[in-house]
Structures are given as C-alpha cells and as structure tokens.
Structure 1
C-alpha cells in the first residue's frame, strides 16, 4: 500500500516536471519565433491565440504558414499600391501635362509678340506708303496746276493734258498723278470732234484709270474716272459689250459713292445709268436676260432721285442735270415740274455745264 502511494506521487511529480519543461521550451520557442518573425509580428500575434497550445514544431509550422499568408497579404497590398501608383503617376502626368501646356502657352505668347510686331510693322509700312503717296514738292505743284487747267476752256484743258504727259515718265507711279491723267484724257475726248481721236482718247484714258485703280483701289477719284471713261468707250462697242460695260460702270460708281458721297458728278452718272436701264428696249432687255442671270433693273424714280441729289449737292452743277430732271418728270406725268426744270436749264449758259455730263448726254 505504501509502495503504491509512493509510485503515484512520483508519477505526478514526473508529469508536473514534464509539463514545466514543455512550458519552458514553448516559451523559449515563442520568443525565438517572435524575434525571427519580426517582419510579420502583427499577423503572428493575431494567430497565437489559435495555435498557442501546440508544440514548438507546430508553432514553427504555424509561423511559416502565417508568414505565407502575410507574404500573400503583403503582395496583395503591394499590388494595390501598384494599382494606385499608376493613378498617382497619372496625376503626375496630368501635372506634367499641365506644366507642359502652360509652357507651350507661354511659348505661344512669346511667339505672338513677334507676330504682333510684324503686324505693327505692316501697319507702319502702310502708313509710310500712304505718307509717301502724299504729293510734295514739285509733284504737288504739278498736280495743283493740273487741277486749275482742268477748270478752264478747251485750250487750257489741252495744256493741262500735255503737261501731265510730259511728266508721266517721272511721276507715272503716283496714284494722284494717274487719275488726273485719266481725267485729262476725258477732257481731250470732249475737246475734239474727230471720231477716231475720240475713241483713242477714251481707250487710252480708260487704261490709265485702270492702272490708277491697281495702285489705289480705295480712292474715289480713281473709281469715278474709270467709270466715266468706261462709259465713253462703251459708245464704240457692240450691244453685248455695252451691257457688260454698263455693269462695270455701275459697280465702280457704287464704290466711288461709298468712298465719297458728296460728288455731284457720281450721282449724275448713276442717274444716267438708272435712266438708260429703265428705258431699255425689248431687244436690249432680251440680250441682258441672256447675258445675266439677274439682269440689271431700275426705274425712272431711281434716276430722278439721283439727278436731284446731284442738284442738291451743287445747285446749277450742270445744265444737263436739270434737263434730265425735266425729262424724268415729263415721263412720270409731272408736266408742271417738267416745265419748271426745263426753264431752269434754259437759263443756264451751256459753258457752265460739266464736260463729263455733256459727253454722256450726246
């Protein structure tokens, strides 16, 4: 009996000693694993409550298993970070792109400065060109003399014409000179009675006027005298050519009036155009319809309005203007008005009439 009790006590002591040794080994193993797995300490500590009662080998295995999961989780987070990195890179790219755009805009602004300078240079060149065209010195005196001679009789007009011809070689590139030369050809057309000479003056004068237009298309005088000489040359053309010339004449009269709306001669010529178009015959209307999709149209009222405008701008400007006012009133049925304007025309001396209006009245 005593022996059995002693044996039982020894067995309990051995078991307790064995359990104490196992606990010591487990604690030592736990510390070693904790130190060796410091990179995965968070995941390892979380798993300790699950696998804490196992042996050191089981604990090692658990540590490795947790390390695998940790690596996988770490890889997953790495992948997530990698997924986020392109977004960050895209933001950086956007920032770079924005910076690049700003730099490009700055470079464009810098590039625009020379362009603005070029435009300024062009404006300066145009101003210099206009200033260079302002007559000065001998040319100014020549042009002034030409203007005075133009207002004289046939002899003085011829003198002015030859004066300009003598200086054409020297001043032939001047716009102001060229339209005056064209006007002088119109004066010579009026001064001669020879039909061939008239035709020659009209054609040469139209060429000079056209050359003046090429030099300066924004000069009312250039357009006006080109229209005048176009009307003169049309008298030697066929019906179809006359219709074309009539269209050209109207176009340049409109431009001349748009540039300068106080010239009575332009309104007289426009009145003549309206009058002739409104009184076209049947054959001429048919020809105009065949030549143009929209043939020119006008009325006697249009013609009368332009003649009255010329008279308003310069009362007594031309005997011919008043005669045409009387004709328009007569054809419109205004008999009393027609008589009044006819009397006013008869009171004017023929010499007071404009040469250009006389030429178109013939």
Structure 2
C-alpha cells in the first residue's frame, strides 16, 4: 500500500511539473508574440506570470528589467516613471542574486542603475548609481566580452561622462572629486562593437551617431543615421527613437 502511495505521489508530482513546463512554454510564446506586435505592457505581464513559477529564471528577470525600463522611458508622470525604474532595478537585483557570475544579470544591473540616475534623488545616490553602471558593465564584459548590450551600456556611460550637464554633472563632480574619465573614443569603440553584434538595436545606433557628432565626425553620424531611419521597428520605443534620429540627420545635412 505504501509503495503504491509513493508511486502515485511521484506520478502526480511528474504531471504537475509537466503541466507547469507546458504553461511556461505557452506563456513564453504569448509574451514573444506580444513583443513582435510591439505590445510591451502585455508582454511584461506574461513574463511576470512566468516569474511566479520560476522566480530565479535569469532570462525572464532580465527581459522584465528591459521592459520595465522601456515602458518607463515613455512615461510622462514622474511618479509612474520612478515606479517602473525601481521595478526594473528590483528584477535586476533578483537576477544578480540568482547568479552573481551572469553577464546578463550584470548588464541588467548596469542598465537599471543608469535609469535610476535620471530620477530626482539625492546626489550621493546619483553618484552611487553612476558608479554602479560602470562597475556592472565592466563585470558583464569580463564574463562575456561579446555581450552586445553590455558593450552599449559601457559606451553610453563614457558618452554621458563627457556630455553630462546640469544637476547630475554637479553631483558627480562633487562626490567623485571631479568627473570620471569618460572618453568619446571609448564610447564609440564600445557602441561600434555593439552595432557589429546587434545591428538592429536602434537605441545603440542613435547614441552612436550622437557620439560621432560630439566627436566632430559628422560624416560618420550621417552614415549611421541614414541606416537608422530605415530600420524595422523591433520595440515600441524604436518609433520615437527613429523620429529623433531623423531630426538629428536633418540638422547635420
């Protein structure tokens, strides 16, 4: 009797695991379909459902981080923007806790930390997040040198350290004891590597063009922007980014 009970329990557990895995496959397909339709909030909701079943799944924690950032970027209300960016940071922290040697997790932390610097927070926190961006992007590239988006994130850090203005620049100068060693040539190097690895990543293309413009290489910026405006939309924000690129292109011609 005991043996039969154990066998039945084992069978029920197996069926439960099988059903759970089937649910995750279905949810993943639904999330990916929503992303292809540029329906990011709906895709994020599906990834959140997956994470209820697999709370330490780095792939979906990182994707949730990216989508929280993407949606937060276009929020006009400051409080709503803060909620999205804080949620992104929370998912990134969970990914890093799940695997501290994951390049994806460090990239997610760098990306989310960068967005936190855009919020109205105290100067010490701004500087801490500025440091976190570089630290985590560096760590991601130690683990995986060809991580496209970590290369972009580090390139963007260098670009921003050269072009910082206003309150953020004052805060960084004060608490760093001067501006960190941002370098436009390094910004371009990292973003060019990202472009080679992920050529349809519109965000990188636009920032790379800006870096070339800042570096007094308008011909290079124009070349990139001419390609950028013809790219397919792979995220909802690509529409606005390409429109911004078109305006920048017009100003350079």
Is 1:160 the counterpart of 2:57? The answer is no
Partner of 1:206: 89
Structure 1 residues 78-117: aligned runs within 5 Å: none
CA deviation vs aligned residue, 1:50-104 (integer Å, no higher than 9, x gap): xxxxxxxxxxxxxxxxxxxxxxxxxxxxxxxxxxxxxxxxxxxxxxxxxxxxxxx
Structure with higher helix content: 1
Is 1:291 the counterpart of 2:167? The answer is no
Where does structure 1 differ by over 6 angstroms across 4 or more consecutive aligned residues?
Answer: none
Determine helix, strand or coil for the equivalent of 2:205. helix
Q: Which has the higher contact order (CA 8 A, sep 6+)?
A: 2
Is 1:271 the counterpart of 2:170? The answer is no
Partner of 2:141: 257
Tell me, in whole angstroms, the C-alpha distance in 2 between the residues paired with 1:333 and 1:180.
Answer: 35
Question: Which residue among 25, 34, 40 is the counterpart of 1:141?
Answer: 25
Q: Is the 8 A contact 1:317 1:353 kept in 2?
A: no
| Higher CA-based Rg | 1
Distance change >3 Å, CA 142–CA 245, structure 1 → 2: farther
Question: Which residue among 130, 133, 136 is the counterpart of 1:246?
Answer: 130
Partner of 1:311: 195
Tell me, in whole angstroms, the C-alpha distance in 1 between the residues paired with 2:165 and 2:174.
Answer: 14
Is 1:234 the counterpart of 2:117? The answer is yes
Q: What displacement does 1:236 show? A: 1.1
Q: What displacement does 1:162 show? A: 1.7
Can you give the 5+ residue segments of structure 1 that lack an aligned partner in the other structure? 1-135
Distance change >3 Å, CA 197–CA 311, structure 1 → 2: same
Q: Is the 8 A contact 2:30 2:43 kept in 1?
A: yes
Q: Is the 8 A contact 1:329 1:337 kept in 2?
A: yes
Partner of 2:99: 216
Q: Is the 8 A contact 2:27 2:46 kept in 1?
A: no
Determine helix, strand or coil for the equivalent of 1:237. coil
Partner of 2:66: 183
Q: TM-score, normalised by structure 2?
A: 0.71
Can you give the 5+ residue segments of structure 2 that lack an aligned partner in the other structure? 1-19, 245-253
Q: What displacement does 1:277 show? A: 0.2
